[in-house]
Chains A and B, each alone.
Chain A
Amino acid sequence: MDPNTAGWALVVALFLPLVGAGALAMMPSSMDRQIRRAAVVITGVAFALVAVITASFDFSRSGELQFTTDASWISAIDARFELGMDGISLPLFFLTYLLTFLCAIYTTKHLPSPGKPKAFLALMLLLQTGMAGTFVAFDLVLFFIFWELVLVPMFFMIGMWGGPRRDYASVKFFLYTLFGSIFMLIAFLAIYFTAGANTWSIQALSEMAPFGSTTFQTWAFLGMFLGFAIKVPMWPFHTWLPDAHTEAPTVGSVLLAGVLLKMGTYGFVRIALPILPEGAVRFAPLIGVLAVIGIVYGALCCLAQTDVKRLIAFSSVGHMGFVMLGIAAMNEAGIQAALFGNIAHGIITGMLFFLAGSLHERYHTREIAVIGGGMLKKIPRYGVLLTYVAVASLGLPGLAGFWGEFTAMWAAISPGLGLADQYAGLYLGLVVFAAIGTVLTAGYFLWLLQRVNLGDPPERWVNEQLDDVMTIEWVTWLPLLLLILALGIFPVLVFGVQDAAVTNLMGYLGG
């Protein structure tokens, strides 16, 4: 496939899940098994196509848009159907298809009550199109559509297949995200009118930047900030996340953590920074402070959790704090760190949510105290996996979680774009507190492992028949487990792809 002309491949990959969702909806509900297999086939074919796209991606020109499509869409408002991918989009796009494929495989065996695989899988496929589209849309209006498209399926996933407090969690998720995204839309419109070029193209607007007064840049950035920061989520906009994660079904949590949260950071890097560089520089210290508060606050909350899944949810707040710290650094290393952290968190936390889901299926509880330890004796393979992923999450060197956090802190010591002159002390302080955060992170994960893995299994579980890791789980998890190791040893796999694109981005920022 020639990356310069094969724009169709991206379009097909993007809308295949949507068509698949329609096809699933046509199948009679009684064909339970066939529906689940069909979903695996659809996501599998889509993933294969994306793998081919990735293979034929021209890595020597990863800074440029490839597989582009640019067609007239809504001429009245100059919105165009503009797709493409560069080194920043590619890893996230790939991750989306990989995780959805794995989730489809996982669903062949595991689906929470009330079952209904047809509706569940159709929603998942709809969600996939929304998520994937966000990463390859290069028109602000199109981006917004894909961005909003994910709300509805995720609302239903949480609301229909979620835990006991699903009503509350699903509505909170929906309204919170909606609130932010309308401000984002207003910011987009303000950009459109201020630029005055009758274009919504992210590329064109980035090249024109900076435009408008400082006041405009500040207000427009604030609007986008609300939209993206809620999605990330940054402290203090994170309160929807623990509820949504805890109540969502396993697949929902995996996709939430693995992909949905990344849309927020991607939005910062792709849109907010290059189009509004002045606003970005003004907001950078604030972003840094909120990010570090998120890191420390997330870790402290984790120490207080009694529910494994809720603990993992709060750990996301901390990890996304590191990603935002990288962005706040406003230099090449920082952006690289943020994007790497994005991918690493997607894989590791996605995996952790799979593990939490399986834990619940075995013990029918996620309370740490009730599980009471001894998993390494009772279900040793599972225990080892949990240990492996938890230490990856706490940032052990050699595994994927390390590079994003380490590089982010390293980058924040000498922030770019003149921030170092004005805020050197502040950023140093931020790094110190972030470092304390890593210690706390290590603390709560190790404490978690100590409480559930070590020791002897309590009385009530000793004679209980608990399955160790099943075949279907190995199939689903193995790719993620390998990626955690691979990215830890060869971080260049992601850094290298992003390098030229991030350099381009810094060009727009004037750094």
Chain B
Amino acid sequence: MSKLLKSLLVGTALTCASAASATELEVTHWWTSGGEAAAVSELASAWNATGNSWVDGAIAGSGSTARPIIISRILGGDPMAVTQLNHGRQAEELIEAGLMLDLTDVAEAGKWKDVVVPPNLLDSCTVDGKIYCVPLNIHSWQWLWLSNKAFADAGVPTPANWDEFIADADALRAAGKVPLAVGAQGWQQAGAFGVMSVAVAGKDAWLAVNVDKDADMAAGPEYAKVFNAAVVARDMSKGGNVQDWNQATNMVITGAAGGQIMGDWAQGEFQIAGQKAGDEYECLPGLGVSAMLDTAGDAFYFPLNKDPEITAAQKELAALMMSPEVQVAFNLKKGSLPVRGDIDMSSANECMQKGLEILASGNILPSGDMSLSADTQAQLEDLMAEFWSSDAMSSADAQERFADIIDSAD
């Protein structure tokens, strides 16, 4: 018994000793694909360079797999020190329940209000005037990635917009390619649909449906056009048979597919594969129709912790994540846009420059995560999963159910 006690005491002493020299922070996130892992190691090495230590808690699978695990750990009283979440409404209730660390003093010291562009990023971290998360990057869904090789094999020039792309579908089929790669997961299908609705129905209709939850607009003629476009896209995606988004991106990289509608995180995959924008692949923001980007992104939240030492380290890491050096290093690897408007991104590639231009011009939309609750998004994903998987659902049926979901959205 006394032996056990002794070893326990020694153990505690050791932990105390190590805690005094460097604070370990456990960081959970779902960045596991090649480009993402490269980006997160930038964060880790920046943090380790300060003498602290980064305990990586990567959760494999997409955000929809990781989020339940993260949230149940916080609710279960075993919070990690730092966690990734998409800013917006996902953490709304956790903040209201007082489970998140208030970062307002860090934000004021770092003048986040002045440097974060666009300002709605910080707004979605703010509850009752207090700031609870660090926006790390901006990701937008509105990109069409095209494989120059696939179009060359099919003997047609790489299209410059969505309509030309549709027109080339037959040529791609004839060359044995899948025209449009779509991973068979609800979030990817719902995302692609969202991109098409901005491009086809226009910004005003999109805002009316997604922000004002206007069910009449969702059932109206503008959105009927979107559903017709989605049926065309569904035909173009047949024969893909892939699940994960990076497998679908890989089809574009290898030229097995003509294109993919996917957020700018796909860029990291092209980079890892050693491809260059303009040479091997092309990117069309807003499907080449309307240059409009939403401003979703990743943010880090710091669950409330009893240990004052960890709290201090949490604030230190929060400040580090917003620092210009980390912003540049991280976002170049990740293929995303930085949240600071005042840093030099001239080393970014062609696609990122296009994105930066659009951001600077102010053609931005709120992200789905900001305007729709997780519940509504899950219903939309269910609908899209059903719609894309077989021809059984007509565009009119799908639109009717879409309008129902928007009608009941909160």
A and B form one complex: no
